[in-house]
């Protein structure tokens, strides 16, 4: 029987994963190399994190993040404790610091999905164990890593390719920008005026792009933004916590729907990406979502494998 490759569990540049801006290009490539090994031989490394424990603290609903971290930790031989904080946000019952200092005595890592990114930063500041961002209002790093890993599966290399994000300059958009420039991918973001990504994120990315030759472009015209692009990405127009803005946003973003006409402006074989959940008929049409260019379910599957790699490199 062929022996599975040995895992390189070298530490990443940062002890936590709050944002992919913390990672170097080498970190990301190392994560992707580990992901490929784990995906190819799911049961071959089932003792990698034996006797290790993961705490998951979620203030928001979750399907992909919760299932993939839970299953991933089990696949690696560890165990998971889930804390539902949807009714009482972190810091309301006891301080974030005290939560961190308690959990570090019992578990080996924390995955947290929070409304406020500063809560994650506070957890990481006080916990002597890795803290992983399962999504915050600012950035969604695990999603972007799965997105770009999937693109490497399709293309081989993402360097020099162009990815266009159409929609709200939200947490997923921020993560894509940070990750794209690390890997030398040109990133265009097309949003209605007033809904562009955070200026600090864009400026940081532009500085990082100077080292890789990537381009960061912010536009308001969808047709121009997707012209010649190799991949088109969209997300919901109203994120969790913005439910009271749905009606207003549906009107503002109506011209930013990804449909077959918009896809036709991109490269002929351009891929379609969405982080899910998707609202068919709003940000994307049924035809594009379920069409041959869509790789949304490949990405969803790869959330499991990429996050197993994250756990493998962060938990000691």
| Catalytic-residue membership of 53 | no
Q: Which of 303, 305, 307, 313 is catalytic?
A: 303
Q: Which of 45, 64, 117, 140 is catalytic?
A: 140
CA distance 197 to 174: 7
Q: Which positions ≥6 away from 121 have C-beta within 8 Å?
A: 18
Cβ atoms of 265 and 219 closer than 8 Å: no
Q: Which of 188, 235, 249, 257 is catalytic?
A: 235
H or E stretch covering 190: strand 186-190
Q: Which of 178, 275, 305, 313 is catalytic?
A: 275
Query: What tokens appear for 292 in the block?
Result: 């041959």
Q: Which of 45, 64, 85, 113 is catalytic?
A: 113
Cβ atoms of 140 and 275 closer than 8 Å: yes
| Catalytic-residue membership of 275 | yes
| Catalytic-residue membership of 61 | no
| Catalytic-residue membership of 140 | yes
**Within 10 A of 53 (CB to CB), how many other CB atoms are there?**
17
Q: In sequence order, which ranges of the chain are alpha helices (DSSP H)? A: 25-40, 64-75, 96-106, 117-126, 141-155, 171-183, 199-212, 222-226, 246-252, 260-263, 286-289, 296-314
Q: Which of 27, 66, 143, 249 is catalytic?
A: 143
Cβ atoms of 232 and 166 closer than 8 Å: yes
- Could you list the active site residues? 113, 140, 143, 235, 275, 303
């Amino acid at each position: 029987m062929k022996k599975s490759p040995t895992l390189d569990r070298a530490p990443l540049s940062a002890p936590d994963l709050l944002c992919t801006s913390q990672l170097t290009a080498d970190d990301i490539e190392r994560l992707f190399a580990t992901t490929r090994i784990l995906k190819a031989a799911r049961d071959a490394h089932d003792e990698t994190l034996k006797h290790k424990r993961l705490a998951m603290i979620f203030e928001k609903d979750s399907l992909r993040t919760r299932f993939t971290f839970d299953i991933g930790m089990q696949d690696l031989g560890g165990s998971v404790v889930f804390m539902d904080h949807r009714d009482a946000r972190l810091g309301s019952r006891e301080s974030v610091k005290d939560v961190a200092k308690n959990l570090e005595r019992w578990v080996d890592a924390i995955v947290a999905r929070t409304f406020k990114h500063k809560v994650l930063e506070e957890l990481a500041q006080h916990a002597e164990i890795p803290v992983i961002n399962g999504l915050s209002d600012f950035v969604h790093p695990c999603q972007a890593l799965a997105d770009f890993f999937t693109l490497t599966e399709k293309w081989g290399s993402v360097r020099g390719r162009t990815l266009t994000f159409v929609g709200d300059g939200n947490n997923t958009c921020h993560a894509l920008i940070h990750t794209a420039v690390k890997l030398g991918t040109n990133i265009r973001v097309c949003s209605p005026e007033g809904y562009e990504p955070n200026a600090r994120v864009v400026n940081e990315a532009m500085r990082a792009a100077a080292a890789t030759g990537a381009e960061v472009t912010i536009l308001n015209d969808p047709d121009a933004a997707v012209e010649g692009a190799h991949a088109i990405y969209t997300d919901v127009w109203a994120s969790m916590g913005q439910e009271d803005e749905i009606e207003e946003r549906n009107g503002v973003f109506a011209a930013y729907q990804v449909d077959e006409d918009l896809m036709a402006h991109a490269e002929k074989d351009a891929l379609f990406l969405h982080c899910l959940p998707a609202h068919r008929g709003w940000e994307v049409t049924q035809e594009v979502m379920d069409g041959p260019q869509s790789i949304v379910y490949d990405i969803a599957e790869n959330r499991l494998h990429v996050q197993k790699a994250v756990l493998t490199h962060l938990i000691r």
